[in-house]
Amino acid sequence: MKIAILGASHWHVPLMYIDALNALGEEIVAVADTSQELVDIVKDRVDCPRYTDYERCLAETKPDFVFAHAPHRDMTDLAAWLIHRHVPFHMEKPMGTDWKRLEPVATKAETEGLFCSVALVSRYYAIVQWLKARQAELGQVYHYYYRLFAGDPGRYRTWGVPWMLDPELAGGGPLFNFGPHVVDLMLYLCTTEVVEVSARWTHGLSGEAIEDIASLTMVGADGEIGVGEVSYCMPSNTYERYFSLDCDALHAGGPDLGDMVVNWRNGQSDHVKGNAFEDVYPAYTWDTLERFRAGQPPLATARDMVRTLRVLCAARESAAIGRPVRIVPAPDDDENCGV
């Protein structure tokens, strides 16, 4: 399959996608970005034509599929541009910084029947796949927790994406970078809707304009509680993760989402092993292209990202105003329904 990569300076392109595509034997026919300096970030990683004009890139290389990336604020416009040209594509999360702008774009993709996948890659972890396959057995979910801590955000300057440190361009710090994974799993595994969110954040640790740490508590349609903690506070460029879920049937919890013991409330247990962090991006890349080839919908769609982004926007508002934000108003109560 002929693949073009737009927004090639996104750090996941050299760190994740080029290797994944090469391992699958896909043909990368072009890379492009908005300036020569940006597109040259990957010049030593892939041998193909480089473009700074996206129209010319598509016209000359005629890709079957596009991997699309941009600063978060610009992702919605890029998605709309691709949909208007009926080009099937993958896009990194969060697909924008305003769910109200993304919603009509997702609707257009659905109306056009266009394949549009979003990289909500936490769905590919072994424990998440295992729980999803047994969702009918879980019963009521009571509590969910997901922690994603990473190192100093200065790495984004080193990687050539300083816009990640600008809240206007990125939407926020870890809240809009790691937060999509946290919110998505709440919606994917635990509840049909998040009806209220309360968030707090801290600044000052890194000296950047973005937040260092964000903590959010989500309430589901049936009272499910979801807690997410995301940060750029680790002293070195390492990650700290923890996932847990409590429901009628079982408890699952641990730091390795690719290797976890699940304890059933009937006394039995299961040892779940499979995709860990180093596996989820290759798995996502393979699955996305296989689904496209087979005429199947992607595992995570633009519509899924709209629902996730709506919660993230509510969390950002909550952190800014210092009180919970209701997403779906309670009956006869339209106070503080912000988003």
2-118: what fold? Rossmann fold (3.40.50)
Q: Where in the chain is the domain with CATH 3.40.50.720?
A: 2-118
Q: Is 310 left (phi over 0), alpha (psi -120 to 50) or beta?
A: alpha
Dig out the tokens for 255 from the structure. Answer: 């730091």
Single-letter residue type at 68: A
What does 143-164 look like in DSSP terms, one character per residue?
EEEEEEEEE-TTHHHHTT-GGG
Whole-prediction pTM? 0.95
Domain with CATH 3.30.360.10 in the chain: 123-275+301-326
pLDDT for residue 241 is more than 50: yes
Instruction: Give me the pLDDT at residue 336, please.
Output: 46
Interval 161-169 mean pLDDT: 97
313 CB contacts (<8 Å, ≥6 apart)?
A: 97, 98, 99, 339
Structure token pair of residue 105 = 């774009």
Residue 113 CB burial class (10 angstroms; 0-12, 13-18, ≥19): exposed
Mean confidence (pLDDT) of the chain: 95
Q: What pLDDT, on the 0 to 100 scale, is given for residue 329?
A: 58
* Dihedral in degrees, nearest 10, Cα atoms 214, 217, 220, 223: 170
Architecture of the domain made up of 123-275+301-326: 2-Layer Sandwich (3.30)
CB 281 within 8 A of CB 16: yes
pLDDT digits (tens, 9 = 90+) for 168-223: 999 999 999 999 999 999 999 999 999 999 999 999 899 999 999 999 999 999 99
State the pLDDT at residue 338: 55
